[in-house]
A = this chain, B = another copy of it.
Amino acid sequence: MGTTEPEGESLLRKVRRILDAFDTGAPVLGLSELARRTQLAKTTVHRVATEMVEVGLLNRHGRRYELGSLLFELGQRVPRTRDLRLIAARYLEDLALTTRETVVLAFPGDQAVLFAEKYFSQRGGGVTFTQVEGRVPFHCGASGKALLAFGDAAIRERVLASTLSRRTRWTIADPARLTAELDQVRRHGFAVDRQELVVGYGAVAAPVLSHGVAVATLTVVGPIDRIQVSRLAPVVTAAGAALTRDFEHVNN
């Protein structure tokens, strides 16, 4: 099988390819699948993966691999997300109690929105559970749109120049419409999702800013018939502004 393995690619680039091969849909991978996903030769994957197991970056189960527990431990210590998660905990709890809906803290990842902390409403009965975890494209959903509107301009330009895939028939897949939507998000100070990510679900998100740039969002998610923007937007926006002040205070 041919691979596109570049001549002389550094070991750490290969490590990164292997780490990127795992996702929530494919948490455990065999050698052939890893070779296919990384476009590296099987012998290369075997050699690098063996070293990665030795230092804890991967776990091995028989002939299959998964991301190592060490990565969870290191991930908990990443300063950029850690400080905000600690400060945000109380705001998430308050929002969940006030709105009685599921509340999440979302971060801008390298290629997608990451959902970091979730408080589940008792009323939700777990229905929104699997809908909000994992990674979702920036252009789908309230968190992503808030991160695009208030976040790093480079991410926004990259997303607007890319192919905007559809998750539902309400997903905004046209760059011009997305640009107009993001202008509106900036004017209003919050983003609304009306079944753009998951059919039957909506959300309202407010940005958390650091030096004027969104570093996260507070987002309330729930069944679309319960997402009343007039009720939710003021509390979410107020919580986002308060968390912004708290975070900037700690960061200075």
**Which A residues are closer than 8 A to B by beta carbons?**
10-13, 15-16, 19, 22-24, 27-28, 51-52, 54-57, 59, 66-82, 86, 89-90, 93, 97, 107, 109-110, 114, 116, 118-120, 122, 126, 129-130, 133, 135
Shortest CB distance A13–B (Å): 6
A82 CB contacts on chain B under 8 angstroms: 24, 27, 72
* A27 with B77: CB separation less than 8 A: yes
Known: A77-B24, A93-B119. A110 touches B56 (CB 8 A): yes
The number of times this chain is found in the oligomer is: 2
* A73 with B114: CB separation less than 8 A: yes
Known: A15-B55, A55-B12, A74-B67. A79 touches B28 (CB 8 A): yes
**Chain B residue with Cβ nearest A70:** B110
Shortest CB distance A101–B (Å): 13
A13 CB contacts on chain B under 8 angstroms: 54-55
